[in-house]
Amino acid sequence: MLMLILPALVALIFSYISWKHSYWSRKGVDSIEPDFFFGNTTAVIKRKEHRSVVFEKFYKYFKSRGQKFGGIYDLISPVVVVTDLELIKCVLQKDFSHFMNHFGYINEEADPVSGSLFNLKGGKWKNIRAKLTPTFTTGKMKMMFQTIAEYATNLQELLEENNTPNNPVDIKKYVSMYNIDIITSCAFGIEVNSMKDPDTEFLKYFEKLMEPSLTLIIRRFISVTLPQWLLVKLKFRVTYKNIEQFFLKTVKEIVEYREKNNVYRKDFMHLLIQIKNMGETTDTGNLNSESTIKHLSINEIAAQAITFYVAGYETSSSTMAFGLMELALNIVCQERLREEILSVVRKYNNKITYDGIMEMEYLDMVVQETMRLYPIASGVSRVCNKPYPVPESNVVIETGTEVMIPLRGLHRDPEFFPDPDKFDPERFNQENKSRIRPYTYMPFGEGPRACIGLRFGKLQVKVGICAVILKYKLAINKKTQFPLKLSTSIIAGAVGGIWLDLEKISDLDL
């Protein structure tokens, strides 16, 4: 009997996958021929190319054929790849009600950590987003600035300890320590000081959370392949139980201690506790823990803190590393930036200040151009939550279909950015940036679901770059591999690392 059932089962699976891979042809949408099972993302799954590079190729393919959008398959799931700016505007802004959600599994009961702002959907997302938005105002950024500045000083000291003649530094390693300390301090209120003690328990659990193990890859694959209702019924979870328990326990202890002792600390956790107890944030140290109405649960606080941690760490580290690499390659840009930083810092009593950072126009141009060349996300992704008739076509995007807008494709499109592979901060000077067409440059996304923490992320990147440029002249070391190849991790890095030679130039006390 088994000899009869097995071939029939194989044939059934083969037929099902083939049928799934005929989706776009059945809808009359221009598509790229998929590989069996892997679809059009074979290079990503086999870790041959970074996802952003693969989707850039899709963008170029459909645009070269004059298509406003086209269809590809992520494994067996159909994905719409958009190239037309007007359609991008519809997806992200004009017709946002059709594309409100991200593509991701969420089950707050069985997998509490999955209930992050990034994963939340519909009304729950709108409610939490409204509560969290005030935590990223100018006033709140100023409140947390001193923490960022202190770690920038630690970064300078760390580089000095590890910078010896004829000994290049892998700059990504050091800026990662800087960023992880900032995020841990601001998100959880914990001083892990990875620059001096990289073996703390907190960091070990964070590494486990981020580790791309085979088991985790399989879990994530299941979470995007099986129907959501079935996963919820099965109480499926993506996060490891022990990791979840550690972070939930940590957050609970922090919240209870602060409430009991009325601890006021200028960080994201303090603001979350205020929202939990009062439904809003204030500029005071008041936690109002006596309130019987709780606007956020401990699980919700933990989920948001972890998301802040995950989203802010690797993204900022990669942007900083790529920015410093480009400055090492472009000495004229580096010298101009150093002159601006020195001028502003001297104005503020030889200190890096929030107001000073906001005055540094060329620094902003450098960071903007870095994010154009090296967008952190592979693309801006949305999921259709109700059928959407594509304007000026006979195609209807069905509920549950992912829509992907490839950022690297847009950011390196010569139609929008002449000589697109060149590092040129002048693209973002006051005159030129007004000419950039809407929806061609979106490092943090656009519309109501744009990244909520973009101002904080840019701030920590700017302060870190300032700290390095003030103290060192940068040059590329031969250990850096060119042409640059992106790693296949979730957030793209440089294969082989970014190795720089540092020449100390100042004893300015910051």
Extract the annotated binding site for heme: 451
**Residue located via tokens 């494994």:** 75
Q: How far is 152 from 175, CA to CA, in rounded Å?
A: 9
Per-residue b or e along 126-158, where b marks 16 or more CB atoms closer than 10 Å to that residue's CB: eebeebbeebbeeebbbbbbebbbebbebbbeb
Separation in Å, CA 508 to CA 209, 360, 435:
39, 18, 38
Q: Which amino acid type is present at position 258?
A: R
Specify which residues 78 forms β-bridges with. Answer: 73
- Listed in sequence order, the DSSP H helices in 192-297 are 201-210, 214-225, 228-233, 241-261, 268-278
Extract the annotated binding site: 451
3-state secondary structure 122-143: HHHHHHHHHHHHHHHCHHHHHH
Counting other chains too, the contacts that 10-13 makes at CB distance below 8 Å and 24 or more residues apart are none
Q: Which helix (H) or strand (E) holds 51?
A: helix 51-64
